[in-house]
Structure formats: C-alpha cells, structure tokens
Amino acid sequence: MTMKPSGVAVEQVPGLAVESRRVGSAAVVSLSGELDLDSVPLLNEHLDAALGSSGARLVVVDCAGLAFCDSTGLNALLAARLRAESDGPLFRLAALPRSTERMFDITGASNVFERYPDLDQALAAPSCRPLPGK
C-alpha cells in the first residue's frame, strides 16, 4: 500500500484502483474501475485495514468511480458488512452506479446495506445503529 503525504493510501491492480483515507472518525475506501475476481483481494486488504482501524466508527465504501462489480465484489462487500456489524463500526455504501444497484436489487443485497447517493451524504447521516429486530 502506498501512502501519500496526506495519509491517503492508494494502491492499484490491473483494472482497479483503491484509495483509503480518514475523514474525521470515518474510514473511507474509494473504488475506481472494475471490481471482480482478480481485483477483489485489493479491496479486501483495504477493507480489513479500514475495519481494523482504531477509532473508526464508520466505514464508507465510495463507489462513485466503480465501472463494474461482479458477484465476487458483492460477496466481499457483504462479508465486510458482516464483520463491521460484529466489530462495531457502521458500514455504508455511497454512490453505487446504476448497474451495480440493479445487481444489488436482483440479489436482495440492497436490503442489507445502508446506501447513500454520494459520499457527503453517507458521511453526514446520523451514526446510530438500528435496534435489533427493527
């Protein structure tokens, strides 16, 4: 992982770039390119770091630059959400492209993620976890 002077970690594999940074008490993981079987290990590395980050009360995956996501990418996001649920930080998705939203709707994954139209709204939304059974 390459760290820029501003504390931003950026890494690339063919087809995908992942950038991680802190915004207040939130860990933000931004994706650009195609999330698939070949690139999902890079996402997992960044999500592990974000979820393990001390003091992070919120993890947001910014999908504004995501051009494609296959079922492997969806499974990685589902696994990260489950880990966040058990470890404590809230887990949100921002700016899902229409094609990815469609896949989430078809698979039912849209019902398990907090999704926001853009990163700013994901960061600004109240940071409270719904009560169990609600």
pLDDT in tens, 29-66: 999 999 999 999 999 999 999 998 878 899 999 999 99
63-88 residue pLDDT tens: 999 999 999 999 999 999 999 988 67
| Nearest in space to 18 (alpha carbons), one of 53, 54, 45 | 45
pTM of the complete model:
0.90
Q: How far is 8 from 17, CA to CA, in rounded Å? A: 13
Question: Residue 94 has what pLDDT?
Answer: 98
Reading the block at residue 48, the tokens are 């592990």
Instruction: Please report the domains of the chain, with CATH numbers, ordered by start residue.
Output: 2-124 (3.30.750.24)
> Which residues neighbour 77 within 8 Å (Cβ) at sequence distance 6 or greater?
61, 93, 109, 113
